[in-house]
Amino acid sequence: MEVFNFKSFDVNKIPSACLVSNGKMSLACSKWVSPKRTRSYPFARVYDTLGSAKKITIIPILKDEGAEGDRDFIQFDTISLMSLLDVYVIIAFYETAKKHKIKTNKITKQQFNNDFIVSKFKELTFFHSSALHWNLNEISNLEQTFEKAKKSYEKIENELEVKLHNAKGLDNFLEQLTQDSNLFKIFSRKKAKNAQERESLTSQPKEFLQTSSKTKLTITNYLGGKYFFTVDEIKIEKETLFLIEGKHSQNSLLPSENDVKDGLFKLIPYCNLENVKINEKNFKQIIPVLKLTSLKIQGLLNSDSSEANLINFLKTNKVSQKNEVFLLKLFKEAKLNNFKVWLGND
């Protein structure tokens, strides 16, 4: 990852994942372009930082793209998931934007308030407790951060003469923050669960699956955090359960690197599951699987295949040197972290 000097740090000019150094320590930093987890591969960017000692991710508390665009709010379970993976969250807010060139009531090129984020970076250099403790403190300050975001959007709306979403939605969200943190958790989990329900009813065109059904998976940790996932496919062999995250490519031999990283990030909790049940049936062995499919792939290969099968697959599919290196690294990671990689359309 590219390294940036702490003194000249500008969150709006850095890549989506980088290192920020003050000469004595380095912080691995990723940033989200929306609080919604399904936009622009935020998990892939966080995944790029997981090998570092101190990992930070910057998430906007809300993003309003205007009356003709989307409006998304941060969810408690997003923060909880970051805590689970020891990632420090900076809950930030957008300060400026540009008017959309075509749509009258839409804004684009939103910019974070950089001074606010730099102040958080300074705090983090002296903060020696866990990400969980930091993130709980960020949650306690949500109301103040939200008020800053609200005032910024009021200013943007007036200066650009664009219509944003109805303020009542902001007031409802703020009420959840101010009444009680548990209400915020309930509000967030309801939205996450609704999203889970919607996704379980749809089959994404980018996924090439053995079945058209998806399976809802709700994970609870000892801290009470609930994570609502939708597994693309499951396979049951006696007392072994395969949890399969599928990534598909229409035009290339392999799915994009961001797609793969997004899938790997989702497998992390699956690699640490205990007491897994389906309709009260317990499973002794849980095997997470990253399944990569493409209309161009010929034959089958997996991370446990023999060297002879690997060589034959690479030759048959005319795999480029770059993709070969990528696959070998992926297979190595699978063996180190106890998950499987399957390639092919069967």
Residue 292 has pLDDT above 50, yes or no: yes
pLDDT tens-place string over residues 217-234: 777 776 666 677 788 888
pLDDT score for 244? 93
Range of the domain at 61: 3-196
Q: What whole-number distance in Å separates Cα of residue 275 and Cα of residue 285?
A: 10
Strand partners, 28: 19, 55
Residue 204 has pLDDT above 90, yes or no: no
Residue 210 has pLDDT above 50, yes or no: no
Average pLDDT, integer, range 124-131: 88
Q: Do 133 and 41 lie in a common domain?
A: yes
Q: Do 67 and 111 lie in a common domain?
A: yes
Q: Do 133 and 192 lie in a common domain?
A: yes
When divided into structural domains, the chain yields a total of: 2
Q: Do 50 and 185 lie in a common domain?
A: yes
Q: How many CB atoms lie within 10 A of CB 140?
A: 10
Torsion (CA) 51, 52, 55, 59 in degrees, nearest 10: -60
Q: What whole-number distance in Å separates Cα of residue 265 and Cα of residue 286?
A: 17
Q: Which two tokens stand for residue 76?
A: 């408690």
> Which of 196, 217, 251 delimits the end of a domain?
196
Q: What whole-number distance in Å separates Cα of residue 130 and Cα of residue 85?
A: 11
Q: Do 269 and 238 lie in a common domain?
A: yes
Q: What whole-number distance in Å separates Cα of residue 241 and Cα of residue 236?
A: 5
Instruction: Report yes or no on whether pTM surpasses 0.75.
Output: yes
The mean predicted confidence, pLDDT, of the chain is 86
Q: Do 29 and 145 lie in a common domain?
A: yes
pLDDT tens-place string over residues 66-102: 999 999 999 887 888 898 889 999 999 999 999 999 9
CA-nearest of 184, 179, 197, 216 to 77 is 184
pLDDT tens-place string over residues 13-29: 988 889 988 877 888 99
Q: Do 61 and 164 lie in a common domain?
A: yes
> Which of 162, 196, 230 delimits the end of a domain?
196
Q: Do 211 and 189 lie in a common domain?
A: no
Binned at pLDDT 50, 70 and 90, residue 181 comes out as: low
pLDDT score for 208? 44
Q: Do 108 and 251 lie in a common domain?
A: no
Q: What whole-number distance in Å separates Cα of residue 55 and Cα of residue 28?
A: 5
Q: Do 132 and 22 lie in a common domain?
A: yes
- Secondary structure E strands in 148-253: 215-220, 226-231, 233-237, 240-249
Residue 147 has pLDDT above 90, yes or no: yes
